[in-house]
Amino acid sequence: MKKLPFFIPMQSCPNRCIYCNQWAITGQSNGLTAEKVLAKIEKTDQPVEICFFGGSFTCLPQKIRTSLLEAAARAPKGSRIRMSTHPLCITEEIIDELKQYNVGAVELGVSSLDDEVLAFCKRGYTSEIALEKLKALLSAGFVVGAQLMTGLPYQQTESTINDLKKLSKIKGPSSMQIRLYPCLVFPGTELFSLWEKGSYTPLTEELCIKQTAQVLFHAENMGFEILRIGLHETDSLRGTVKAGPAHPALGELVRSEALIEKLIKTNPKGPWIVSTRHRSLLSGHSRRGITVLANKTGLTESELFKRIIWW
């Protein structure tokens, strides 16, 4: 189903996190109105998934919230509504309101479930609160997503994998969607000041790929659905990010690294059966995947190709 995204950058967020500058990420600063939503909806005659991203949708004043939801409800029959929001703005009343408008999916900007990381980043809640809100959404029957980050201050790979274990415990056999975003440094943020002073060092591109691949490997093994890895590339993002792993193909590189991890764990020296769908994960980006696999196995590239069975 085609997605129809709308952005409400930093509108009604209950507090300012040290790393956040969604105006820089999206290149948008004007408020979203019901008229703007209707204008796009009127151009489509097929079911769409209307997505409200950025900011904290359920923290918006009720009048604005209602106008946007009513506009979204005018989409063609069979359409769905998805939104991202802040854990502190999920209540029983909000859940009832979202059900009234047939909202299908709710993603929470969790970032981390490590209380030290959350406190330093000024997220405004504890891991216990975030987990309670996710459980409430699951119990209400929504498709639930958690947006996690890597490379935050005081955050380690083991911390993020532990986050996945906590999420896996509350979701049980239910499905849960995950987005993985690297921590980037944007101007106008507290993190930018810390970076300038030398008090914060962002992940290098290579380290981000390796760490996020570990997280991805565990997430897939725990049955999570991975929606996205890395921020969506925009001119604004490219022009404003000051530091951090902002590679436009980060998701592809991470998936390549995770595939290599899986192959080696399955059979350290091969042979390996690999789906043709994953051919680009090994041969793309100047054959980076093949080079990494060769380095990790001690095999030559020609030997590797003899041990890969494409299926």
pLDDT of 240-249, one tens digit each?
899 999 999 9
pLDDT-based confidence at 10, cuts 50/70/90?
low
Looking at residue 113, its pLDDT comes to 98
DSSP letter for 243, please: B
Asked whether residue 103 falls in the same domain as residue 215, the answer is yes
For residue 21, CA distances in Å to 154, 189, 196, 303, 307 come to: 20, 7, 16, 47, 46
Q: How confident is the model at residue 109 (pLDDT cuts 50, 70, 90)?
A: very high
Looking at residue 20, its pLDDT comes to 86
pLDDT tens digits along 130-140: 999 999 999 99
The verdict on residue 262 lying in a domain is no
pLDDT score recorded for residue 12: 63
What mean pLDDT do residues 177-191 have?
Answer: 95
- Whole-prediction pTM: 0.91
- DSSP SS3 for 150: strand
For residues 214 and 161, the answer to whether their CB atoms sit within 8 Å is yes
Q: Rounded to an integer, what distance in angstroms lies between the CA atom of residue 201 and that of residue 158?
A: 18
**What's the domain count of the chain?**
2
Residue 102's pLDDT is 87
224 and 120, same domain (yes or no): yes
* Residue 288 and residue 195 in one domain: no
Same domain, 203 and 300: no
Which band of pLDDT confidence, cut at 50, 70 and 90, is reported for residue 149? very high
**pLDDT greater at residue 173 or residue 11:** 173
Last residue of a domain, one of 196, 213, 248: 248
Tell me what the pLDDT averaged over the chain comes to.
Answer: 92
Same domain? 271 vs 228: no
Percent of the chain topping pLDDT 90: 85
Q: Is residue 260 part of a domain?
A: no
User: Does 244 share its domain with 283?
Assistant: no
Q: How far apart are CA 226 and CA 222, in angstroms?
A: 11
Task: Kindly state whether residues 274 and 149 are assigned to the same domain.
Answer: no
Do the domain assignments include residue 167?
A: yes
Q: Are residues 212 and 151 in the same domain?
A: yes
Q: Which domain holds residue 287?
A: 267-311
Are residues 38 and 153 both part of a single domain?
A: yes
**How confident is the model over 13-30, as a mean pLDDT?**
68
96: its two tokens: 């009832």
Task: Give me the pLDDT at residue 32, please.
Answer: 87
Domain boundary among 198, 213, 248: 248
In terms of domains, do 8 and 155 share one? yes
- Domain identity same for 177 and 276: no
CATH of the domain at 170: 3.20.20.70
Is residue 61 in some structural domain? yes
The answer to the question of residue 85 being in a domain is: yes
Examine the domain organization and report whether 152 and 46 are in the same domain. Answer: yes
Mean pLDDT calculated for residue range 105-127: 96
pLDDT at 30: 59
pLDDT at 77: 94
